[in-house]
Amino acid sequence: MASSLCCSNPPNLSATSGEGTVVDDFGGIKSYIAGSVDSKRAVILISDVYGFEAPNLRKIADKVAACGYFVVVPDFIHGDPFKLDDSTRPFPVWLQSHTTEKGFEEAKPVVAALKEKGASSVGAAGYCWGAKVVTELAKAAEIQAAVLLHPSLVSVDDIRDVKCPIAILGAETDHLSPPELVKQYEEALAEKSEVDYFVKIFPGVAHGWAVRYKADDTTAVQKADEARNDMVEWFNKHLV
């Protein structure tokens, strides 16, 4: 994960992007929220290493919210996104301050806050770094549905331990979760008759395609839209 592939195409972060609202405390975490607070179905979107101010991520949150969900995008990296051009703080050093274990522990109160506000079901989707956090939530049965998009740091043993329906959307070009590893995920899930799953490898895309696409690249936008639609369909199926 310390490779340039993980962190390529960094977004131009914007604290004011999106049609939703930033709140200082949702389950103890500053968060971007979108959608009706009265919705009984909630989705947590967990960012990659660039955090919750990424305009594409907030755009995805807005579109998921438009499908009837209350969406929360927590700032699990606490205003400290990875900076690709900071040679004094390479990725392994940054990651020491932002472990996925810490993200998981901070995510549990967010799930609890959603349930306290009346959500009957909670799903979570994560990109790259965030996919590992979602996997941990799925292993702990904290959520009712999970989606991993170009995941990293996720082992086959992790997948064997998930306890809720899970969709895994991989890229054709991704040495963090190459197609061979994604197929191993699928094989592990096939052994778990009690867990519904969906696995798809997107042709012609690379790690990060689902959230770090360029808005002026029509093909890239179409592929990202396809991933978002697959995610929403999965939540539609499993969140009631």
CA 11 to chain CA mean position, Å: 16
Residue 6 bears catalytic tag: no
Q: Which of 7, 4, 9, 6 is nearest to 216 (CA)?
A: 9
Instruction: Report the 10 Å Cβ neighbour count for 72.
Output: 31
Residue 7 bears catalytic tag: no
Burial 10-48 (b: 16+ CB within 10 A, else e): bbeeeeebbebebeeebbebebbbbbeeebebbbbbbbb
Strand 70-74, strand 29-34: pairing:
antiparallel
3 state SS of 155 = coil
Q: How far apart are CA 141 and CA 173, in angstroms?
A: 31
Instruction: Report the 10 Å Cβ neighbour count for 184.
Output: 15
Residue 135 to residues 89, 104, 156, 197, Cα–Cα distance (Å): 27, 9, 11, 13
CA 130 to chain CA mean position, Å: 5
Q: Write down the catalytic residue from 7, 150, 207, 238.
A: 207
Q: Write down the catalytic residue from 128, 158, 230, 238.
A: 128
Q: Which of 76, 101, 97, 122 is nearest to 235 (CA)?
A: 122
Q: Write down the catalytic residue from 6, 174, 230, 238.
A: 174
Residue 207 bears catalytic tag: yes
List the catalytic residues: 128, 174, 207
